Amino acid sequence: MYPRESRGNQVSYRESVNRLQLAVDQFQKDKGILPILNADASIPRFEKFRIDLDKLNKTGYIDEIPATAFEQGGSAYFLILDEETKPVVKVMELTTVQKVNDIQRAVDQYKSSHQGKLPVQKELYPGIYSVDLKAIKSESLVWTSFYSGQESDYILDPGGRVYVDYALDIMQAVEKSGGTPASDTDLRVLLLEHSYYVPVKSLPYRWQNNQPVAVSE
């Protein structure tokens, strides 16, 4: 489950994640804390606990910062999830973050010049609409999922906040699992089970009427 446009980075991400996982585990064992940067409580879960790569490097737990890391000019942050139970290293893909930020700016500009109206196209989930890229002159900013390699929509919550739609990726993960998710499960966890990537810029998803449904936070 890697992005088609980043096939060449498969080995480097795998190696980077494995190497950092060993370093994080050893650092925590030696120091009793995790090597993470301070994070505000308002930061979303899948963007929150960035690994302090500089600290790991300077204290000798890694011999160099991975070339795939943003800190070295790469296109990813390395994060820690499940920090209180069994910390696991994951990849936050920054191309998606940049595109969502660009779409957000365009949406905000449209809203301010159209008496608060949002550039919505169609309602995909209750109260959640796809973004009309043509209306905001952003047709070139198509988003391709780094899980499936397929194009998907940008979506807007009722407050005008932009996310990307992971429903197709989640549906594929559900089909692969062969089970039926519990209705109260945040289905994004399924995307973490077979991939190094976190579903950045996402809303929670619930299983309703045999399909994943995005819900406003």
Q: Is residue 13 part of a domain?
A: yes
Q: Is residue 65 part of a domain?
A: yes
Range of the domain at 77: 4-94
pTM (2 d.p.): 0.89
Structural domains in the chain (count)? 1
CA distance 44 to 35: 19
Q: What is the pLDDT of residues 65-80, one digit of tens each?
A: 999 999 999 999 999 9
Q: Is residue 144 part of a domain?
A: no
Q: Is residue 60 part of a domain?
A: yes
Classified as helix, coil or strand, 163 is strand
Which percentage of the chain shows pLDDT scores above 70?
94
Q: Is residue 15 part of a domain?
A: yes
Q: Is residue 17 part of a domain?
A: yes
Q: How far is CA 148 from CA 29, 42, 160, 208, in A?
A: 36, 29, 26, 22
Q: What is the pLDDT of residues 180-210, one digit of tens each?
A: 999 899 999 999 988 999 999 999 999 999 9
Hey, what's the torsion of the CAs at 28, 29, 30, 33, to 10 degrees? 30
Residue ranges in the chain modelled with pLDDT below 70: 1-12
